[in-house]
């Protein structure tokens, strides 16, 4: 009987390995983003807002409805100065 049952073993191995890798990548990405979906196409404005959120909450993806600015926040600007010519 020329049915290649032997091929099911590597097929199962490949399926399990790809599934494990994908699941671990998903869990790792979620962990880095506090359970939120990852952000794509981040521009300079988004980077500044994430830096502000990090200064207010301690994490770039952190959000709060009642922010209490830490001491020195008002003088710790997220705007970068232009380099003098």
Ligand X SMILES: *[C@@H]1O[C@H](CO)[C@@H](O)[C@H](O)[C@H]1NC(C)=O
User: Which stretches of the chain bind ligand X, using CB under 6 A?
Assistant: 26, 29-30, 37-38
**Does residue 61 contact residue 34 with C-beta atoms inside 8 Å?**
yes
Provide, rounded to whole angstroms, the least separation between the CB of residue 34 and ligand X: 11
Provide, rounded to whole angstroms, the least separation between the CB of residue 66 and ligand X: 28
**Residue 19 vs 70, nearer CB to ligand X:** 19
Provide, rounded to whole angstroms, the least separation between the CB of residue 24 and ligand X: 11
**The length of the chain, given as a count of residues:** 85
* CB burial readout 22-42, b (16+ within 10 A) else e: eeeeeeeeeeeeeeeeeeeee
């Amino acid at each position: 009987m020329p049915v290649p049952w032997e091929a099911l073993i590597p097929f199962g191995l490949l399926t399990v390995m790809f599934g494990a890798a994908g699941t671990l990548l998903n869990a790792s990405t979620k962990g880095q983003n506090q359970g939120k979906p990852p952000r794509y196409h981040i521009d300079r404005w988004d980077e500044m807002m994430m830096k502000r959120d990090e200064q207010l909450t301690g994490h770039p993806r952190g959000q709060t409805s009642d922010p209490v600015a830490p001491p020195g926040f008002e003088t710790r600007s997220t705007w970068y100065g232009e380099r003098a010519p």
